[in-house]
Amino acid sequence: MTTKETTVKDQVRQFVTEELAAAKGVTVVSDDESLIENGVVDSLGIFRLVTFLEENFGVKIGDEEISAENLQSVNMIEQLVLSKGKK
Amino acid sequence: MAYILQQLLSKSAKRFPEKTAVWARGRSISYRELDERSNQLAHLLVQSGVRKGDRVGIFFPKCVESVISMFAVVKAGGVYVPLDPAAPVDRVGYIISNCGIRVLITQDEKRRSLDAATRESLDRCVIVDKARESGNGTGVVPWSALAEFSAVDAPQVTLTETDLAYILYTSGSTGRPKGVMLTHQNALTFVEWCADKFQITHEDRLSNHAPLHFDLSVFDVYNAIEAGATVYLVTEEIALFPTTLQKFMETHQISIWYSVPSALVLLLLHADLKAEKLPRLRTILFAGEVFPMKYLKQLAELLPAVELDNLYGPTETNVCTYYRVDRERLASMDKLPIGIACENTEVFAVNDQDEIVTGPGQSGELYVRGPSVTYGYWGDVEKTQKMVVPNRFQPNFEEKIYRTGDLVTLAEDGNYYFVGRRDSMIKSRGYRIELGEIESALLSHPGVREAAAIAVPDEVVGNRIKAVVAAHQPDTLDATALQQHCAARIPKYMIPELIEFRSTLPKTSTGKVDRVGLSRDSQPIAV
């Protein structure tokens, strides 16, 4: 694993844990856990997450990319960001 | 004419046996299967000890088995209680104990999530997914056991329209949820009104966006079944993502949509709704909160041929008034009315002098009378007597009317307009939230001395929630710990997003917490 990958995942995990999960009373979020099933993201949380990813990583996420396939877990969010960086 | 809900299914199962009744998570069942499976489950429930009037919990994320379970419980003569699969264990345990649920239809994982005392209080759990081989304990029955029971008819039970059909739990101001009791007649009064008003046919395709513990789903499920139409259940993985939701509407060619306005606002803001991609969409119904006019106008413009209806009514009356959006008037309107009473329902506003409001421009609390009105709250005589009251406006016979707690104004055009609440109940994403329930959750933390929950108006979801807390010992509490404490007691949509700490809460001259002052000068919630 490269340093860059670790950094992206760490930052995503930190945002999810501190900004989204904490306010829902959830303290531990594993990297492959579904953020939908555990109730960490709600309809506003999704867009806070997208704004964070766009501002923090300088990527553009289209409305059609805002889906369970891309944003379900910390691992999937990391993949989405990395796939954009490679383009 | 049907007088109990299961008659809607038997009628449609005879007319359209092979037609799809319910679709969810990529699976569907025909009317014949829905009728047969619910017969079998009803027999299993009776064998499990369910008798007329007994409460049966339904506790799993929605899928085709949810609808099978709803019909099975009423066919067994029981009363179903949909339990929010995302609610904290403590709250689910409270509801199970509050209304005396002894038989639960659930998933293996959901059953295991319950606390030991709750699990032990149950006589039987019917497991909709595959039960694990070991350690199931006594009283756990797998779904496959249905095969042992007769599919051809339902158990023999005598029911009338005045028997209870289901109980919906909603936020309670004293810190615990309260169970609104609904009869077959309550539900059918609404279902039959909708069938007529919206002319639903077997060719319609209805969405079900609301959770099944939320009364909006009564329309989706029962009106689809009444008409022999198909209902498509929207699950969380779809509902959370506007583009996915839009594709769902397109793929299934939904013709009648019903949801809270905030779901539609998110579709407007983050999806690409196009009339040409939704050629069958003919009616959009919305309820549960006020639709911001700006977005309603956008929706009307985007979907020029779709009829838009604002439905209004607390769970206690299902729906009692409606307003069909007048497109010509819409451009000049700055507020949407809640409209006029549904047929077979009477509404009136009562002013502070305890007189019925008759003239335009006058305001009062909205009262509802008619066959859609609840008996009251399960096991709570005091609360029932406060809200479901004798009709003092006519002397000839005894009847009950429901006081909504909503303040309304009667306008010149004959429509009622919602003005506000008498108490501290708010709406967020259409959910009823008693700020007192949030405050109780905060105050149950031993470190909290005072707490005030505050609603912050939000254009998309109606309201967001923050709290101001004073601790017994300064600097001993942090927001995360308190949010975690709340998460064990109240649903996630009720947890304050932001908690501000103060040494003491400001009071009004009468010694009450000054909510108005607090909402003005407390910290804003980050966007």
- B48-70, pLDDT tens digit by residue? 999 999 999 999 999 999 999 99
Using an 8 Å Cβ cutoff, are B29 and B230 in contact?
A: no
Phi first, then psi: give them for residue B443, nearest 5 degrees.
Answer: -70, -20
pLDDT for B130 beyond 80: no
Q: How confident is the model at residue A85 (pLDDT cuts 50, 70, 90)?
A: confident
pLDDT for A86 beyond 70: no
Q: Which residues pair with B418 in a beta bridge?
A: B408
Using an 8 Å Cβ cutoff, are B91 and B490 in contact?
A: yes
**Where in the sequence is the domain holding A81, given as residue range(s)?**
3-86
Please report the pLDDT score of residue A3 as a whole number: 57
Please report the pLDDT score of residue B516 as a whole number: 83
Contact: A47, B270; criterion CB under 8 Å: yes
- Which of A47-56, A63-72, B220-229 shows the highest mean pLDDT? B220-229
Q: How confident is the model at residue A43 (pLDDT cuts 50, 70, 90)?
A: confident
- Selected for mutation to probe chain A from B62, B237, B238, B240 (highest A CB count within 10 Å) is B240
Contact: B236, A37; criterion CB under 8 Å: yes
**Statement: the pTM of the whole predicted model exceeds 0.95:** no
A contacts of B466 (beta carbons < 8 Å): none
Please report the pLDDT score of residue A4 as a whole number: 59
Q: How confident is the model at residue B459 (pLDDT cuts 50, 70, 90)?
A: confident
Span B508-517, average pLDDT: 82
Q: How confident is the model at residue B423 (pLDDT cuts 50, 70, 90)?
A: confident
pLDDT for B138 beyond 80: no
Q: How far is A25 from chain B (nearest CA, A)?
A: 4
Q: How confident is the model at residue A2 (pLDDT cuts 50, 70, 90)?
A: low
Q: How far is B238 from chain A (nearest CA, A)?
A: 8
Contact: B492, A24; criterion CB under 8 Å: yes
A contacts of B240 (beta carbons < 8 Å): 36, 41-43, 46, 68
Q: How confident is the model at residue B357 (pLDDT cuts 50, 70, 90)?
A: very high
Residues 6+ apart with CB under 8 A from B55: B78, B79, B80, B81, B99, B100, B101, B102, B167
Please report the pLDDT score of residue B261 as a whole number: 94
Span B202-225, average pLDDT: 97
Please report the pLDDT score of residue B131 as a whole number: 61
The span from the CA of B193 to the CA of B275, in Å, is: 28
Give the number of domains in chain A: 1
Q: Which own/partner contact pairs does A48-52 have at CB distance under 8 Å and 24+ positions apart?
A: A48/A19, A48/A20, A49/A15, A49/A16, A49/A20, A49/A77, A52/A15, A52/A19
Choice between B74 and A26, residue whose per-residue pLDDT is larger: B74
Phi/psi class of residue B325: alpha, beta or left (left: φ > 0; alpha: ψ in -120 to 50)?
Answer: beta
Please report the pLDDT score of residue B526 as a whole number: 74
B contacts of A80 (beta carbons < 8 Å): none
Q: How confident is the model at residue B132 (pLDDT cuts 50, 70, 90)?
A: low
pLDDT for B519 beyond 90: no
A46 vs B86, B240, B493: nearest CB: B240
Write down all domains in chain B, each with its CATH number in brackets: 6-183 (3.40.50.980), 234-369+385-423 (3.40.50.12780), 425-521 (3.30.300.30)
Please report the pLDDT score of residue B302 as a whole number: 97
Which residues in A have their CB inside 8 Å of a CB on B?
22-27, 36-37, 39, 41-44, 46-47, 63-64, 66-68, 71-72
Q: How far is B281 from chain A (nearest CA, A)?
A: 21
The span from the CA of B96 to the CA of B83, in Å, is: 9
Q: Which residue of B has its CA nearest to A64?
A: B243
CA B127 to each of CA B68, B92, B112, B527: distance values in angstroms, whole numbers, following the listed order: 13, 17, 11, 42
| Element (DSSP H or E) covering residue A10 | helix A3-15
pLDDT tens by residue, B251-307: 999 999 999 999 999 999 999 999 999 999 999 999 998 899 999 999 999 999 999
Q: Which residue of B has its CA nearest to A26?
A: B484
Q: How far is A33 from chain B (nearest CA, A)?
A: 14
CA B14 to each of CA B33, B470, B487: distance values in angstroms, whole numbers, following the listed order: 12, 62, 46
| Element (DSSP H or E) covering residue B442 | helix B435-443
Q: How confident is the model at residue A6 (pLDDT cuts 50, 70, 90)?
A: low
Span B150-155, average pLDDT: 97
Using an 8 Å Cβ cutoff, are B110 and B60 in contact?
A: yes
pLDDT for B120 beyond 80: yes
Contact: B480, A27; criterion CB under 8 Å: yes
Q: Which residue of A has its CA nearest to B487?
A: A25
Please report the pLDDT score of residue B510 as a whole number: 79
B110's tokens? 């959901």
Contact: B243, A24; criterion CB under 8 Å: no
Span B155-184, average pLDDT: 96
pLDDT for B381 beyond 80: yes
The secondary structure of A13-62 as a DSSP string is: HHHIIIIIIGGGT-----TTS-TTTTT---HHHHHHHHHHHHHHH-----
Q: Which residue of B has its CA nearest to A20?
A: B497
Span B145-156, average pLDDT: 96
Residue with tokens 């919990």, as numbered in its chain: B57
Q: Which residues pair with B516 in a beta bridge?
A: none
Closest CA to B65 of B102, B37, B40: B37
The span from the CA of B111 to the CA of B364, in Å, is: 46
Q: Which residues pair with B127 in a beta bridge?
A: B106, B142
Q: Which residue of B has its CA nearest to A23?
A: B497
Q: How confident is the model at residue A7 (pLDDT cuts 50, 70, 90)?
A: confident
Span B340-363, average pLDDT: 96
Q: In chain B, what is the greatest distance between 2 CA atoms, to the nearest angstrom? A: 69
Q: Between chain A and chain B, how many beta carbons pairs sit less than 8 Å apart?
A: 69
A contacts of B492 (beta carbons < 8 Å): 24-25, 39, 42
Q: Which residue of A has its CA nearest to B527?
A: A48
Please report the pLDDT score of residue A38 as a whole number: 87
Contact: B461, A43; criterion CB under 8 Å: yes
Helices (H) and strands (E) in chain B, counts: 18, 27
B326's tokens? 């007048």
Of A10-24, B5-19, B377-391, B499-513, the one with minimum mean pLDDT is B499-513
Specify the CATH number for the domain of residue A17: 1.10.1200.10
A contacts of B263 (beta carbons < 8 Å): 43
Contact: A44, B480; criterion CB under 8 Å: no
Span A17-29, average pLDDT: 90
- Which ranges constitute the DSSP H helices of B1-82? 6-15, 31-47, 64-75
Please report the pLDDT score of residue A87 as a whole number: 42
Strand B448-458 versus strand B363-369 pairing type:
unpaired
Contact: A67, B485; criterion CB under 8 Å: no
pLDDT for B137 beyond 70: no
For chain B, the C-alpha Rg in angstroms (whole number) is 23
Please report the pLDDT score of residue B514 as a whole number: 87
- Supply the mean pLDDT for chain B: 94
Q: Which residue of A has its CA nearest to B463?
A: A44
Contact: A43, B480; criterion CB under 8 Å: no
The span from the CA of B96 to the CA of B110, in Å, is: 13
The span from the CA of B73 to the CA of B79, in Å, is: 6
